[in-house]
Amino acid sequence: MSSFILAGAGDSNKIYQIGRIGYDSGAVASFPQDPGETTYYGEFETERMSPAGEDGLVRFRRIVLRALTQGSWEIYMEVFVDDVQTKIWDNDETSSTYGQQINQSITITSKEGTPGGEAIMEADIDATGTFVQVFVRIASEDIQGYFLPESLEAHVQAIRESKSRSTLDVSVAPWAESS
């Protein structure tokens, strides 16, 4: 071990070592959580991305997060299309909103005993709009070892091409590929 970052507290007599990404991450024995077994949350939120251009129309069907992991994991995801969170039908008979559409809170969990490696997490959505924004949250206690997101994709069907941005025919857009 060649270097450390230490933090001295301004309000106590404690000295802390800042763990290193990838080495000390993810509930390893030497670095279980923040002090006091405090869970923290990694969160990211994408820009508003418009697959078919800023005035195109797209049907969003799937959000795929690919990550390099070291063990089991669990993520929480929310998807917003045109600033509106995607909806699902509430099929929980005990819920007060049973039979109604509710915001779609997506939790994806690895299978038990996941050995790690590249994991693909797919969120099934169905919403139509121009742009999409994805919010992902990971609780530090829900991962083992490192958790390195690599790419986040939307799987879409183009309904109407953009007029203002002329090349956004999704079938020929340079950053879009058929799947």
Partner 1 sequence: MPPLQRFVVALAGGLQDSKAQPDPGDFVRLHNFALFRGRFGLRAPVKEIATIGSDSQILDIKAYRDKVWILGWDGSDEVTLYNMDWPGPTADWGTPSVKGVIHTGVTSKPLIRMTPFSGGLEDEPKDRIYIADYNQVEPTKIFQVTSPEATSILKVDFDADPLPVPTAEDVYFSLMIPYQFHLWGTGFYGGTGDFRPEMLRFSQPGLIPNIDPAGGVDFEDNTPASKEWFSFGYRNLGRRGDKIKALSFATGNMMVFQAGSAHALFGYGQDSWAAKQVSDQIGCVGPNAAVQAGAGGMCLFWSHDGPFATDGTQVMSIGEDIKQHVIDLGATDNVSAAYSPDDGVVYFSLVEPLADKDSTDLWPTTYLAYDVEKKRWAEGSWLAGNVTGDPFALQVAVLSTITARDIAAAPGPRDKPQNVVATAYSDKFIQIKWDPGDTATETRTMIHRSTSPTFTPDDTTLIATLDSDYGTTYNDKTGLTEVVTYFYQLQHYRNGTYSASSTETSARTWCAPPVSVTLQPIPDGIRVTVDVLHNLSNVQIWRSPVVGLGHVDTMLAHDPTTPQGVGDYVFDDNGSNITCGIEYHYFVKIHDINDSGGEHPSLAYPDEVNLGEKLRAIACAGEDTTAFAVAAGGNYLRVTQPGKVLYTATCFYTRANVESDMIKMYVDKGGGAGYVGPWKFPCKRAFGAVKFSFTAYCPSQSAMWTVKWESLQNGTKVLNTVYNDAINPCTGAAV
Considering the rule CB under 8 A, would residue 85 count as an interface residue with partner 1? no
Among 10, 94, 111, 166, interactor with partner 1 by CB under 8 A: 10
Residue 93 φ then ψ, to 5°: -65, -20
**Interface with partner 1 (CB under 8 A), residue from 82, 87, 88, 135:** 135
**Minimum distance from CB of 94 to partner 1 (Å)?**
27
Task: Check residue 23 for interaction with partner 1 (CB under 8 A).
Answer: yes
Q: Which is nearer to partner 1, 32 or 99 (CB)?
A: 32
Of these, 110, 134, 161, 162, which contacts partner 1 (CB under 8 A)? 134
- In whole angstroms, how close is the CB of 115 to partner 1 at the nearest point? 19
Site for partner 1 in 31-60 (CB under 8 A): 31-49, 51
Whole-angstrom distance, CA of residue 116 vs CA of residue 73:
9
Could you give the string, one character per residue 86-115, with x where binding to partner 1 holds by CB under 8 A and - elsewhere? ------------------------------
CA–CA distances in Å: residue 131 to residues 38, 60, 126, 154, 175 = 36, 9, 13, 10, 15
Alpha carbon distance 142, 39 (integer Å): 9
| Spatial separation of the C-alpha atoms in residues 134 and 155, rounded to whole Å | 13
163: which 2 tokens? 């007029």
| 8 A C-beta contact, residue 45 and residue 134 | yes
